[in-house]
């Protein structure tokens, strides 16, 4: 039977493009999202909150009951926080907690739920969508930047601890991507120009360009790659 991938936050943006791309490659895909999801070609669509252990556990139980295995987990669900979640001293404490909960606790809970199946298989790949903000600070987004730094180190921790069990972990670090998350900023010509001026390629990315990278990682090519952060930022962090 074909391989199985789970994509969290698969209802929108990068996650939706990734789910479609993996389905096109013949992978059986389970999409997990807190919001409304149009099924697309995904084999299984589950409403779940990645911050809630019970919700996550019940989703993964259903996935394993349905497919019998999990080859790839894409930890993609993420948030930036409200308009008030800006620089450190102005970030509401509850917004800090909410951002860490989705962006750090989420990958932890989902990976924790997927690992027993991967360990039993002796194979598996955890791909976490971090951000260029996990490598260089995104100005005015303290909670988000800190959370993505944690996502990168979470990936390295899993890579190191499970390499001898046949399980790999890699992160993808996109730069600015045109999705519902960033629409509010990119729809304002001045703010868009400000972002584009920092990117050597002079343009933001489309979700398909990130989905392509995730699909390459999810394929069993690059089999020696683990603990890596694959940066797709148009040269932003190379400056
Ligand atoms: P998006 O807002 O379009 O999609 C995120 C999806 O995650 C939504 O469908 C949402 O419902 C889901 N989600 C949010 N909280 C959830 C929860 N608690 N449980 C389950 N699902 C939840 O965002 P996007 O731009 O596609 O971002 C996807 C990932 O890529 C995020 O981790 C984001 O930080 C990262 N990223 C985005 C950009 C960008 O510029 N758009 C850049 C770098 C990294
Ligand atoms: C680069 C990245 O991960 C997105 S950071 C900016 C998000 S927002 O402030 O909502 O435009």
According to the model, what pLDDT value does residue 37 have?
A: 86
Q: Packing angle between helix 53-67 and helix 106-121, nearest 10 degrees?
A: 30
pLDDT tens, residue by residue, 210-231: 999 999 999 989 999 999 999 9
- Atom number, ligand 1, closest to the C-alpha of residue 151: 32
| Model pLDDT, residue 36 | 87
Q: Name which of 213, 137, 231 is nearest 175 in CA terms.
A: 231
Residue (of 66, 61, 60, 25) closest to 43 by Cα position: 66
Does the Cβ of 49 fall within 6 Å of ligand 1?
A: yes
Ligand 1 contacts CB of residue 234 (under 6 A): no
Which residue lies with its CA nearest to atom 3 of ligand 1? 13
Ligand 1 mean position to 164 CA, how many Å? 31
The distance between the two most distant Cα atoms of the chain, rounded to a whole number of Å, is 52
Residues 6+ apart with CB under 8 A from 166: 118, 121, 122, 123, 124
Q: Which residues are catalytic?
A: 144
Neighbour count for residue 119 (Cβ, 10 Å): 14
Q: Whose CA is nearest to atom 4 of ligand 2?
A: 176
Q: What's the 86 CA to ligand 2 centre distance in angstroms?
A: 11
Contact 129, 172 (CB under 8 A): yes
Contacts of 235 (CB under 8 A, 6+ apart): 199, 200, 201
Q: What is the DSSP code string of 110-141? A: HHHHHHHHHHHHT-EEEEEE--GGGTSPPTT-
Q: Kindly give the number of the ligand 1 atom that is closest to the alpha carbon of 35.
A: 11
Is the distance from the beta carbon of residue 181 to the nearest atom of ligand 2 less than 6 Å?
A: yes
Q: How far is the CA of 173 from the centre of ligand 1 (A)?
A: 13
**Percent of the chain whose predicted confidence (pLDDT) is above 70:** 100
**Number of residues that this document lists for the chain:** 239
Total-model pTM: 0.98
Q: Give the pLDDT confidence score for residue 76 in this predicted structure.
A: 98
Which segments of 80-223 are extended strands (E)?
124-129, 167-174
Could you read off the pLDDT tens digit of each residue along the chain, which spans 239 residues? 899 999 999 999 999 999 999 999 999 999 999 998 876 777 899 999 999 999 999 999 999 999 999 999 999 999 999 999 999 999 999 999 999 999 999 999 999 999 999 999 999 999 999 999 999 999 999 999 999 999 999 999 999 999 999 999 999 999 999 999 999 999 999 999 999 999 999 999 999 999 999 999 999 899 999 999 999 999 999 99
End-to-end CA distance of the chain: 45
Protein residue with least CA distance to atom 12, ligand 1? 9
Q: Does residue 170 line the site of ligand 2, with CB under 6 A? A: no
**Residue 42's pLDDT is what?**
79
Q: What separation in Å is there between the alpha carbon of 128 and the centre of ligand 1?
A: 12
Cα separations in angstroms, 182 against 14, 54, 169, 170, 191: 11, 30, 26, 24, 11
* Both structure tokens of 183: 């629409």
What's the pLDDT score for residue 39? 66
pLDDT digits (tens, 9 = 90+) for 48-93: 999 999 999 999 999 999 999 999 999 999 999 999 999 999 999 9
Report yes or no: 50 and 8 within 8 Å, Cβ to Cβ. yes
- Cα torsion for 172, 176, 182, 188, to the nearest 10°? 180
């Amino acid at each position: 039977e074909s391989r199985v991938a789970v994509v969290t936050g698969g209802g929108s943006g990068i996650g939706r493009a990734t789910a479609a791309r993996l389905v096109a490659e013949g992978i059986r895909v389970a999409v997990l999202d807190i919001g409304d999801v149009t099924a697309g070609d995904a084999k299984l669509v589950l409403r779940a909150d990645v911050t809630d252990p019970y919700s996550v556990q019940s989703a993964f139980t259903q996935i394993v009951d349905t497919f019998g295995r999990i080859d790839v987990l894409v930890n993609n669900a993420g948030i930036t926080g409200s308009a008030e979640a800006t620089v450190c001293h102005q970030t509401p404490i509850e917004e800090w907690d909410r951002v860490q909960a989705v962006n750090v606790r989420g990958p932890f809970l989902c990976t924790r739920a997927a690992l027993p199946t991967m360990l039993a298989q002796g194979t598996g790949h955890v791909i976490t969508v971090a951000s260029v903000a996990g490598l260089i600070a995104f100005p005015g987004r303290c909670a988000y930047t800190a959370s993505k730094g944690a996502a990168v180190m979470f990936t390295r921790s899993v890579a190191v601890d499970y390499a001898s069990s046949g399980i790999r972990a890699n992160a993808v670090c996109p730069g600015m991507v045109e999705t519902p998350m960033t629409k509010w900023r990119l729809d304002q010509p001045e703010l868009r120009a400000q972002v584009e001026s920092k990117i050597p390629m002079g343009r933001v990315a489309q979700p398909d360009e990130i989905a392509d990278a995730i699909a390459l990682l999810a394929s069993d090519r690059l089999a020696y790659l683990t603990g890596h952060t694959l940066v797709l930022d148009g040269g932003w962090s190379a400056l």
